[in-house]
Structure 1
Amino acid sequence: MKLDQILPGRIGYGSAPLGNMFRSVPDDEATATLNAAWDHGIRFYDTAPLYGAGLSEIRLGGLLSLKPRDSFVLSTKVGRVILDEVESGSRDLGEKGNLFEHGRPNTIVHEWTAEATERSIEGSLERLGVDRLDILWVHDIAQDFHGDVWLQKFEEARTGAFRVLSRLRDEGVIRAWGLGVNRTEPIELTLALDEPRPDGFLLAGRYTLLDHEHALQRLLPMAEEQGVGMVVGGPYSSGVLAGGTHFEYQDAPPEIVEKVRRLKQLTDEYGVSIKAAALQFSLAHPVSTAVVAGATKPSRIAEDLAALDEEIPAGFWTALRASGLVSPLAPLPGGA
């Protein structure tokens, strides 16, 4: 089933921050943020076992387990099995470093076999307190986690997770599956396969105002030709487009800081919020079905929804194109 037939709106809540990403988030702050998302009408929620070693799923389940199951769409990810035992030694998250160092100390098993996929799903259902999942993403089978051996992980997933998720979809247990990654190449490989066929993908950080040229070269034309939809994760590029200091989960380098400064100068000139420019840019591509934005402050939910609906003058998009800050291949709102 196509993503646009499943997702209830163009914006969802990304719950990675609830896994204590970057900092320890108090329980009451997490609860208030989730309640704000629900009260503002958000009905699409994305999470993953990786986020805080299950903490994000537990916190999200505290809200969703109390709601009618047919009233929301829920996606999580496979590829990590969370054990009850405490992790010994340092945790290797590839380029993401110590991103969830404030999460739970539970051991995380990184595995994409058929057996691990089924265990991952069972663990997610238990932590979330729900009886079914709508969308499952195969998580992080890419270079940023696995370096030169990422193709081995992809093959493990192709013969394991892909087949399990295809079967579950065909049996009606889940509604859709795809890849949830921070790189384009695994999705390109998947779309080139004769089978199994994904329904969509979640691409984090690769279709934003700051980073989109690579996705436009091969991935998005392939997806558009095949009618496969994209959920844009990380539309604020880890926060630097929303007033933060992180880009790609690390301190933003000087060239990114300078590009944000130029973007901010342009948005100020036209009286536009940079959040609105970021969200509306990410949604302008015909493959884009929705964005998922993370937050740990209740006020951020209202900001995101206002940004989605903010009226941006056509002159801004024309000026953005003329500035060279976006690829000439990138579709812009209003056809600029």
Structure 2
Amino acid sequence: MSIKDKLAGSVLGFGTAPLGNMFRDIPEAEAAATVRAAWEHGIRYFDTAPFYGAGLAEIRLGQALAEHKRDDYVISTKVGRIVLDEIVTGPQEFGEKGTVFEHGRKNKVINDYSADATLRSIDDSLKRMGTDRLDIVWVHDIAQDFYGDEWLARFEEARTGAFRVLTRLRDEGVIKAWGLGVNRVEPVELTMDLQEARPDGFLLAGRYTLLDHERALQRVMPTAAKLGMEIVVGGPYSSGILAGGANFEYQPASAEIIAKVARIKAAAGRHGVSIKAAALQFSLANPAVAAVIPGASKPERIAEDRQALSASIPADFWHELREQGLVAPNAPLPGDGR
């Protein structure tokens, strides 16, 4: 059974990173209303992680879903980061992701991809969400500092720890699937080649978007399709810049990125196309993609995402993007028959 089958056909999911107070302090009522809006718009796949606000997103998601039957929705969360009881007195700093969750809970978060930490992380997530089971578990962010020694040690720890534990839990039926949840393509490429612990798919954030997709097209997408390892696309709006925001890769966008987005927006304007619709439909057009999971912290954003999914986009818009070199020549596009 593929990742898509495990998601019960839900091609539009909900990424809960914003519920962890990503970039801003979100009131409890607003967070709850956003999850409620997702449910009312038919979303049944929810992705979360201990990292999001040091457990805050998991807590809020669990509270919001408590009124629904557990069999009626799918949850994925992540392992690799442990939330401690220890409180951080200074700013929450997370390497390449900076202070993205500075408004979250102040619990210290550490990296640990060992077998024991994986089991502990799953148990902690179950308690925070108040649920009896998880459907999909992603190994989170082992790709940070990819070219340094720290990355190599982290990957080896995950290979001999988290990967093996999750394979066993899947084979025992405790979880339905596992894979990596990362924002770089390199660890996905390495993990697809493993023989002793085979993932079911990957959550690839920010690397198969309308703005940034060339590297993933080279090997990840075709190999994943060949092996039956489907991709869940996270961050389809590239940290928000494709949805009216100013960030790319969790930081203020560079002049080069801003200029590229302006060209995409100009083409969208000429064809009467919503850039949100273009972003979501572009990611879903690839046959290796099982679902796309934009994040949201306001109820009205959910309605926009749902409308974007079904919006009509003329073929001439996609042709113009290709002609301008704004999408890769080999990128599958909506309606082009690939």
TM-score, L = length of structure 1: 0.97
> How far has the Cα of 1:143 moved from its partner?
3.0
Instruction: Name 2:19's counterpart in structure 1.
Output: 18
CA distance in 1, matches of 2:111, 2:90: 15
Q: What whole-Å deviation, never above 9, does each CA across 1:292-326 have from its counterpart, x for those lacking one?
A: 01011100000000000001111111111111101
Higher deviation after alignment, 173-182 or 312-321? 312-321
Q: What whole-Å deviation, never above 9, does each CA across 1:199-243 have from its counterpart, x for those lacking one?
A: 000000000011100111121222122111000000000000000
Conserved 8 A contact 1:144-1:183 = no
Query: Cα RMSD between the aligned structures?
Result: 1.3
Aligned residues: 336
Conserved 8 A contact 1:208-1:282 = yes
Structure 1 segment 296-311 matched on structure 2, within 5 A = 296-311=297-312
C-alpha change, 1:237 and 1:158, in structure 2 (3 Å) is same
Instruction: Name 1:224's counterpart in structure 2.
Output: 225
CA distance in 1, matches of 2:147, 2:300: 36
CA distance in 2, matches of 1:51, 1:62: 15
Instruction: Name 1:186's counterpart in structure 2.
Output: 187
> How far has the Cα of 1:91 moved from its partner?
4.1
Q: 2:2 corresponds to which letter in structure 1? A: K
> How far has the Cα of 1:327 moved from its partner?
0.8
Instruction: Name 1:281's counterpart in structure 2.
Output: 282
CA distance in 1, matches of 2:286, 2:7: 17
Instruction: Name 1:268's counterpart in structure 2.
Output: 269
C-alpha change, 1:293 and 1:85, in structure 2 (3 Å) is same
Conserved 8 A contact 1:135-1:176 = yes
CA distance in 2, matches of 1:106, 1:162: 26
> How far has the Cα of 1:65 moved from its partner?
2.2
CA distance in 1, matches of 2:69, 2:95: 38
Conserved 8 A contact 1:117-1:161 = yes
> How far has the Cα of 1:89 moved from its partner?
5.1
- Please state whether the residue corresponding to 2:292 is helix, strand or coil: strand
Structure 2 residues not aligned, in runs of 5+: none
> How far has the Cα of 1:156 moved from its partner?
0.2
Percent of aligned positions with the same letter in both sequences?
Answer: 65
Instruction: Name 2:236's counterpart in structure 1.
Output: 235
> How far has the Cα of 1:70 moved from its partner?
0.4
Q: 2:243 corresponds to which letter in structure 1? A: A
Instruction: Name 2:101's counterpart in structure 1.
Output: 100
Structure 1 residues not aligned, in runs of 5+: none
> How far has the Cα of 1:109 moved from its partner?
2.2
Q: What whole-Å deviation, never above 9, does each CA across 1:146-202 have from its counterpart, x for those lacking one?
A: 844211101100000001100110010100000000001111111011121000000
CA distance in 1, matches of 2:306, 2:183: 24
> How far has the Cα of 1:108 moved from its partner?
1.2
TM-score, L = length of structure 2: 0.97
Q: 1:12 corresponds to which letter in structure 2? A: G
- Please state whether the residue corresponding to 1:21 is helix, strand or coil: coil
Conserved 8 A contact 2:92-2:106 = no
CA distance in 2, matches of 1:47, 1:205: 16
